[in-house]
Structure formats: C-alpha cells, structure tokens
Chains A and B, each alone.
Chain A
Amino acid sequence: MSKERIKIAPEMFDIMPEEYQDLVERATYGNEHRGWKDIGTSKELIEEHSLCAGCPESMAFRYILASLPAPEDTVMVGSTGCTSLVFPHVGVHNIHSLFGNQNAIASGLKRALSVRFPGRVKDVVVLAGDGATVDIGLDMTLQAWFRQEKFTTICFDNELYANTGGQESGLMQKGFVAKMAPVGKTFEKVKLPEIARESGCHYVVNCTVSKPNLVEKVIKNAIHVAREIGPTYLQLYTPCILEIGKNSMEGLQEMRDSEKPTERFAYKEYVSDQAKELLTELAAKEKERKAALKKQLAGQA
C-alpha cells in the first residue's frame, strides 16, 4: 500500500475523525527506519486496547507494531484469545478466523499475496497466544514450518489460557496449579523453541518483552528472515498478571525475574547459517547508513 492511499481529500480533511487525521499526518507507514523509539512522538498503529490494566501483552503489542519493518505492506493473522480483543484496534489489516488455525490462514494468505503481487514485498505476521500456537493449533504451526512458509510466527506465551479464565496450557510450567490442573500440571512446559528449530525455522528467539530495543531487534530480524528465507518463530513471555496473582504494576518485574540466566525465559536464540548471512548483510548496511548519517550531521554542524 502506498501512503498515498490513506491520504484524505483536502476538502474532507476537517470532517474526518481526529484519529484518522493523525494516522495520515503522524503515522510511520513507509518509514523503513521506524522503531520503538517512535512511540510517543508519532501516531502509533495501536492506540487504545481492551486488555487488563498493566497487561504486558499491551506493551508487547505496542513494541511489535512500532517495529514492523513495512506496516504499509504487512497483514497480521491472529487467533482467538486476549490478542483477538486487541486486533480490532490495530492499524494494519488483520485476520481473525478460528481458534488455532492462524498458521494455516497465514500459509494461504502469504501464497495468495505472492501470486497477486509478484516482485513486491507483502509481509505476513502471525501473532497468537500459547493455547492457539502450541495446543489446539500445534499441527498447523508445525506444518507451516515444515513447508517452509515464508512468514513469522509470534507466540505470546502467558503460560495459560488467559481469556477463558486461567486454564492449563501446554506452555504452562510443570507443577503450576490452575483450572483444569487441579493437582498441578503433570508434564513439562512444551519446548517449542527447540521444536521450531528442528522443524525448519531459520530464526528462533525465546525472551520476554521487558526490553523494547530487544523486541524491536528480534521482530525486525524475524520478519526480514521470513521475507527472504523461510519461517521464523518468536516466543515472547507476556505474563498474565491477573492469573498468576500479580498486581497491575508488577508485570515488568515478573518478566525481569523470569529472564534471569537460570530462568525459563533467559534469552535464547537460534539462527540458521542462511539467516546469519542475511542478518550480517543487513547489519552491515545499517551500520553504513548510520555512519553516513553521522557524517552528514557532522557536516551540518
């Protein structure tokens, strides 16, 4: 989509909602260097949300939407769950169809966009909860990876079914007592990052969303690798503060506690050789761009 498409006819400008005016004037569509630092100075692609106060998922949503390399040509696919309460607020096309079929939807979507727009970049990004990704949708998650579908899968791992009230999920920790796990979960947290690597993902990261710069980096890497090479997977810890008995202001600390080196969300990354090559190339270009910019600024001074 060209940014031209969201422009408003000058005669109609003043009658359009303020929010849309903002989208036209202050959004970062088309800015290839967009990132989390635009938050607060530009129009975000998500403004309000209907999640619980202090929900880390809302932070994750903001960082991810700010970090999409080309939101003007990105279609997101969600699933049923807390994320499906947020997508209606998001300023990129997004699809909700059924619970768990997100990677199947994305497979068909990516292929259709490739047929319809040959030679153009159309990124597809899946964003779903752990129930959708690992339990009800695991088959379709894995099969999309086996087929080397070129899109990114992001799992918001809150280690339970949050939207239905805190039931056991496959990504829940062993021993955790929850609804439908009345004596504690009896089996280990499913090792999806490892399974992703073995299933053909070229870039896999397991981390929390406590650090916006890290989220931006992994989102951009994952989308660039998916665009050029093949499937990528990000498992992001977005704790459900409500269901683990935390207060609204404790989400960030919960993530910091869980990302310590010995904890289950210690930063973990797998990059295939092909992806390494691409990311090295992209990093070199970025370095070059920044150096040129620095030089230019120095010249101006």
Chain B
Amino acid sequence: MATQSLIGTKNRAGQVVTDAWKLLHEAERTPCFYTGSEVIKEAVRRSNCDVMIAYPITPQSEAAALIGELFAEGFIGDYFRGESEFAVMSQCAGAAFGGARVFTTTAGPGTMRAMENFPMWAGARLPIQMIVTCRGINSPLSIQPDTLEISYLLNTGMLVWHAETAQDFYDWILKGYMVSEEPDVHLPLALCCDGFFVTHTKDVVNLTPADMCLPPYDPYRSPVPCMDMECPPVRMMRDPFVMKSNYISYATHASWQQEVWAAIERSRKHTIRWLDGLIEVDKPDAEIQIVSSGTAVSQGREAQVLLEEDGIDVGIVKIKALRPWPEDEIREATKHAKHIIVPEFNVTGWLAKEIRATIPNPERVYAGPHVCGGMTMPPEVIAADLKKHLGLKAESLAGRGS
C-alpha cells in the first residue's frame, strides 16, 4: 500500500510518518494541561491533514482558528474560512472528492444549516472528519451545551462517535481517520463532544510526540473513484436514474443506500479495534446501570459515588460509538440490570429512545434526568431522580421543585 511504504518518511511539515497503531499505542506520551480546543489542534497537528475549512460559531470557533495557526506553520496543505456552514461542508466535500484528507468543525445551528450535506457526504463515500461541539439549536438563541443536534446526525449515514473527555477527543480524532478511511468503510465521521464542557475546560491530556504523524490518506484505496482525472473517466450510465421511474432506478438507489448502511456495519470491527470496544462498562453485575454518552457519563460516575455512599450499587455503561450502534454490547451490559438510567443533555431523550428500541424489557429504562439549554447536570440530580424512580426518599434539591 502506498501509505505503508511512506512509513519513516517525512511529511510537508517535517514530521515522521508513523504507523498509526504504533503512534497511538506505543509512542511515548507527554501529559499536557490543555483546553479541549487546544487538544483538537494538537490532534490535527499529528493527523497529516490536507485541507481544513473553517467557519466561526461558538463553541468551536477557537479550535477552528487554532487549526489556522497549524496551516500558517505548514502542518496543513490548505485552510480557509468559508461563508457559511452549508458552504463549508460543500467545500469539504469538494476537497474530499479531489482526494484530500479533510477536517472541519461545527456546532449547533451550524450543524443544522449544513445538514443537507451529510447524507451527500455519506452517499458519495467521502471520509471527511467533522468535529461537532454540541450546543443549543433552539430559539430563542442559545450558545449553551445541549446535545440535541446529535439526534439529527444519527440517520445521515455518517459514523457518529460521542467523546466524553479531552483525552477521548485527542485519540479519537486520530483513530477516526483510520476507521473512516478503511476501503470497506470510507464514510464521514461526526466526532461529537459536549460544547464548553469539553472544549472550554482544561484537562490533562497525554499527547503523542509532535514530530510524528499519521500516514497520509491514499485516495486510491477509495471504493469510488477519486475525482482527479488520474483514473479513466467512465460514462456512468446512459440514462441517469434521476429521470427514471422504474424498478431498476428504484433498485439502484435502494442498493446504494443499503450499501452506505452496510459500510457502517463494516466499520464496527475497525471501531471496536481502535476504540477498544464500542462501549465501556464498569460494574456489569450491578442491578442499576447508568447508561449514557458524552459528559453525561462523567456526571454518572460522580452520581455512582454518591449512590454508593447510600449503599446503592450502580454500574456505568459509557457509549462511545452511536453509529455503528452497539446493540449487542448494550444488551449484554444491561442483561442483569433491573433499572437502566439514561441521563442526557437534551430535552427529547434520544439516547434513551435508542436504548429502549435495543434491549428486551424496555420498561427498565428510565429516561432522565434531562437537562438542556445549558443547564448543568449535578450528580445529585441523577442520584435524586434515580432514588425517586426506585421509590426511595431523595433529598430536596433547591430550584427543582422536589
């Protein structure tokens, strides 16, 4: 493979192209105290990225601007500010059609404005990586953390991962390219995190060496031709299917959609290998399980401690990948659970709905607590909701009417 033969050579910035597995699992790590936005920059620095296209929207603006600094330093082939998220995602598509490794970031209303692009990315099999720093999408205008936008991404045909911590973010940006660029996958990745909670807080993150980077993207491993006129152009069809209303036309479109979802399924084995499983389980034998994704998991861990102090044994299931959906893993992890608590940073409880549709005896699922619009989720709230659900007396929490 062309990418493998480049191991040990230097890229445009003088970084040593390193086998991705070695880079992420064997290379020396240095602890650094960074914001989530800075961590995004550091991951992109090591990702051998060709093109990054930026647009300002809180809370991803800082990360998008910091990547501009990487361009100025020579780490990225090209970088510019687009005119809107819709345009940016189309510009990303153009760059990916042209065979580039592409990175972009967005948030909240930006994700919604760009939405038409995402099924197109998936259908065109473009392995673009998009960071989604989730925020409110409601009116009145809100810039606060809220994960409702993730639910809109779940049926686009993209891979969707939900990072809990800045360390997840760092590792998963690099690992994300390795999964989404596999020839049997070749799909875009929405790597989501909870805005502000991850982007604007500082954390200790273990970084790989700055003078080492991922192998470059090889567009000729794509399952569809790269649009660079370096392979023979073919007449795709005599009668474009768009203007036909017949069985062949329907079957073509149906099989193309099925193939996108089959590619998500094929990503499962790669995702399990790189993320060390689609979920992470703590105390699988507990009869009460807090199942969640993103920073709700962190709050669940704190609630677990509080509940243990009261003698209530609680397990934690952290969902890392939402697409591919860890159906078997969640069933297995919750098979002993009598109560499944799903705390979420959104008003609709989309994750609880997904879990209910996955497991036997879905009445075990308690959808909540739900906080949204920027509200925080103190662990006391999770503990109190759980106790109430169990019919136990819970302490009164100021301002929650309990």
Contact = CB atoms under 8 A, between A and B. Distances in A.
Interface centre among A74, A85, A105 (most CB of B within 10 A): A105
Contacts of A110: 94, 98
A59 interface: no
Contacts of B239: 50
A112 B87 contact: no
Given A85-B243, A98-B116, A108-B51, A140 B229 contact: no
B392 interface: no
Contacts of A112: 50-51, 77-78, 94-100, 102
Contact of A108 (B83, B94, B120, B240): B94
Contacts of B80: 111, 147
Interface stretch (B170-178, B230-238, B314-322, B366-374): B230-238
B235 A19 contact: yes
Contacts of B384: none
A95 B228 CA distance: 11
B90 A97 contact: yes
B84 interface: yes
A120 to B, nearest CB: 10
Contacts of A140: 83, 87, 90
Contacts of A111: 51, 77-78, 80, 94-95, 98, 100
Contact of A95 (B84, B97, B243): B97
B54 to A, nearest CB: 12
A6 B51 CA distance: 29
Interface in A90-118: 90-95, 97-98, 101, 104-117
B94 A88 contact: no
Contact of B243 (A1, A50, A106, A109): A50
B243 A143 contact: no
Contact of A109 (B94, B116, B230, B238): B94
Contacts of B102: 108, 112
Contact of A101 (B87, B233, B237): B87
B242 interface: yes
A92 B234 CA distance: 8
B34 interface: no
The main secondary structure of chain A at its interface with chain B is helix
B236 A115 contact: no
B51 A122 contact: no
B91 to A, nearest CB: 4
A84 B233 contact: no
Interface string B334-374: 00000000000000000000000000000000000000000
B43 interface: no
A288 interface: no
Contacts of B77: 111-112, 115-116
Contacts of A5: 230-232
Nearest to A86: B240
A143 B228 contact: no
A92 B117 CA distance: 24
Given A93-B233, A113-B228, A84 B242 contact: yes
Interface in B373-389: none
Given A50-B239, A116-B98, A105 B91 contact: yes
Nearest to A140: B87
Interface in A43-78: 47-48, 50, 72-75, 77
Contacts of A108: 51, 53, 90-98, 100, 102
Interface string B131-146: 0000000000000000
Given A50-B239, A115-B78, A143 B117 contact: no
A295 interface: no
A96 to B, nearest CB: 9
B78 A104 contact: no
B225 interface: yes
B229 A75 contact: yes
Interface string B154-174: 000000000000000000000
Interface in B98-140: 98-100, 102, 116-117, 120, 124
B240 A101 contact: no
A139 B87 contact: yes
A290 interface: no
Contact of B240 (A85, A93, A114, A143): A85
Nearest to B217: A116
A89 B238 contact: yes
A299 B154 CA distance: 72
A111 to B, nearest CB: 4
Contacts of B237: 88
15 contacts: A1-B232, A19-B235, A74-B229, A84-B240, A93-B229, A94-B227, A101-B90, A105-B93, A107-B91, A110-B98, A111-B98, A112-B94, A115-B51, A122-B229, A143-B82
Interface of A: 1, 5-6, 19, 47-48, 50, 72-75, 77, 84-85, 88-95, 97-98, 101, 104-117, 122, 139-140, 143, 147
Closest 9 CB pairs of A and B: A108-B94, A112-B98, A115-B77, A104-B90, A108-B95, A112-B100, A101-B90, A108-B91, A105-B94
